[in-house]
Amino acid sequence: MTQAANIGHIAIVGLGVMGRNLALNLADHGHTVIAYDLQPAAALQAQEAAVARGAAASGQVLAVATPAELVAALAPPRKILLMVNAGAPVDAVLERLLPLLAAGDIVIDGGNSRFTDTERRSAALAARGLHFVGSGISGGEEGARHGPALMPGGSAEAWAAIRPLFEAIAAQAHGQPCVAHIGPGGAGHYVKMVHNGIEYADMQLICEAYALLAAAGLDNDPMAAVFARWNAGPLQSYLIEITAKILAQRDADTGRHVLDLILDKAGQKGTGQWTLVDAAERAVVVSAMGAAVDARVLSSLKAARVAASTQLAGPDGRIDPATLPGGAEAWVALVHDALMAAKIVAYAQGFELMATAGRERGWGLDLAAIARLWRGGCIIRAQFLDRIAEAQAAPSTAGAPVANLMLAPWFRDTLARVQGPWREVLATAVRTGVPVPAMSAALAYHDSWRSPRLSANLLQAQRDFFGAHTYERIDRPAGQHFHTEWPQA
């Protein structure tokens, strides 16, 4: 344990796998990292791991035993990165640290904290002359070690101070670090929350593609080859890449595919649900994410589903390739296009949510910069984010940003091209009983957007009937409200 003073460039509190890997990443880039954990062994382990890297390392990790030692070891203004679990642990650490800090010091929360908590903490620290940075960090253990995507939110002053450290450790995409100052207060954690909402939708859509291919009789090994091939085309992404690897993986004990041995009950830590709650409050539709969260919930009801499967009648969820035009090979191509189409919708919904929240909160979010930083390091990194960055940066032909990503030229043209297969795939899924909640929610959203007249005229009539809520008329100026004396029973 070190007693040295004023030598640390940054401290990390919480040396679990993520914290340790970030410490090593920072040390690789020449920084001296002070490591503190409630379990002293974890901090020492990080120090030892840094030493074990040998002479190639230009920086170091030094373990300390107490918050007071941590504060003494850092050069001011102090930068302290919290890598503890979101929620009460963040407040507990802050309570211990705050009395020891001096004006101008910067505390960074690198966990998946709820953005409203980050706003509260920012205000509390600002009142003491301290900076609080809520930073989304994506990319899992590997990302933390070799280059995550970073989404810091907080004051411009704090960003200027941490920028060199963050740019050094971030992943690179197209020669640029995958980090940008997202905005003030909770903006960084908000954008990370939406990243996770999109992640949920993207993962669910891939799961539905897997289910559709499996229902048509495609085995894991040929399917691994299909996903590997898709990863060389417009669907190229980290999630498609790992899906190919997952499909091919064999279990050492049984020789069977690991995937076939995994229980079909999904876990979730909450960021997807937070996205839905926030979107509902802003009246933004994120139905693909909603379907993804619901799918995880339904998956967790394993025993109930097994029981219901013997009681609820319907088709058996098998697709006979012989009944499909073009057979199995053509089916793979159709599912590819359906996945592409639904993925566009999921991202369109995520970007619309960020655009709305950014406007409402006055965060000044740069959506093109967010799309650019997501091109590397994070879980949803994908080639397709280049297109999103282009679309967000380029004004529409009307000179204003497009109302929805689906309307940007590349996305509009792609949707026009792949919607035939998308409809074909969903029709087949409905006929054969394969559940595809996110793909179908995405299509319903797309079709609602392209409907100049929806059935809401009847809805307004119903509201007026039972509650005299009034309606507007198509043959009268907007803003005038009418009521009909409906025949009551």
Whether residue 15 contacts residue 42, with contact meaning beta carbons closer than 8 Å, is answered with yes
- Phi and psi for 274 in degrees, rounded to 5? -60, -40
CA distances from 307 to 133, 265, 303 (A): 48, 15, 6
Helix or strand or coil: residue 152? Answer: strand
Shortest distance, CB of residue 196 to ligand 6PG, whole angstroms? 5
Q: Is 199 annotated as catalytic?
A: yes
- Measured at the CA of 24, the angle between CA 18 and CA 28, to 5 degrees, comes to 140
Pick 245 or 450: Cβ nearer ligand 6PG:
245
Contact residues for ligand 6PG (CB under 6 A)?
A: 112, 138-140, 196, 199, 267-269, 271-272, 378-379
- Token digits for 180? 């940008």
Looking from the CA of 284 toward its CB, the CA atoms found within 13 Å total: 25
The active-site residue out of 79, 192, 241, 352 is 192
Pick 161 or 171: Cβ nearer ligand 6PG:
171
Whether residue 112 contacts residue 86, with contact meaning beta carbons closer than 8 Å, is answered with yes
- Measured at the CA of 272, the angle between CA 269 and CA 275, to 5 degrees, comes to 135
- Token digits for 403? 């109302």
Shortest distance, CB of residue 192 to ligand 6PG, whole angstroms? 7
For ligand 6PG, the nearest residue by Cβ is: 138
| CA quadruple 275, 277, 283, 289: dihedral, nearest 10 | 40
State how far the Cα of 225 lies from the Cα of 219, in Å rounded to an integer. 10
State how far the Cα of 367 lies from the Cα of 382, in Å rounded to an integer. 16
> Based on the number of CB atoms within 10 Å of its own CB, is 19 exposed (0-12), middle (13-18) or buried (19 or more)?
buried
Shortest distance, CB of residue 137 to ligand 6PG, whole angstroms? 7
Pick 60 or 273: Cβ nearer ligand 6PG:
273
Pick 23 or 83: Cβ nearer ligand 6PG:
83
Pick 138 or 432: Cβ nearer ligand 6PG:
138
Show Cβ contacts of residue 345 under 8 Å, excluding neighbours closer than 6 positions.
288, 406, 442, 443, 445, 446
What do you get for the CA distance between the two ends of the chain, in Å? 82
Pick 112 or 113: Cβ nearer ligand 6PG:
112
Pick 267 or 477: Cβ nearer ligand 6PG:
267
The active-site residue out of 69, 119, 199, 424 is 199
- Token digits for 262? 């995994």
- Phi and psi for 347 in degrees, rounded to 5? -70, -35
Shortest distance, CB of residue 143 to ligand 6PG, whole angstroms? 6
State how far the Cα of 448 lies from the Cα of 442, in Å rounded to an integer. 10
| Farthest CA pair distance, the chain | 87
Pick 275 or 392: Cβ nearer ligand 6PG:
275
Whether residue 78 contacts residue 101, with contact meaning beta carbons closer than 8 Å, is answered with yes
Shortest distance, CB of residue 126 to ligand 6PG, whole angstroms? 26
- Phi and psi for 14 in degrees, rounded to 5? 105, 95
Q: Which residues carry out catalysis? A: 192, 199
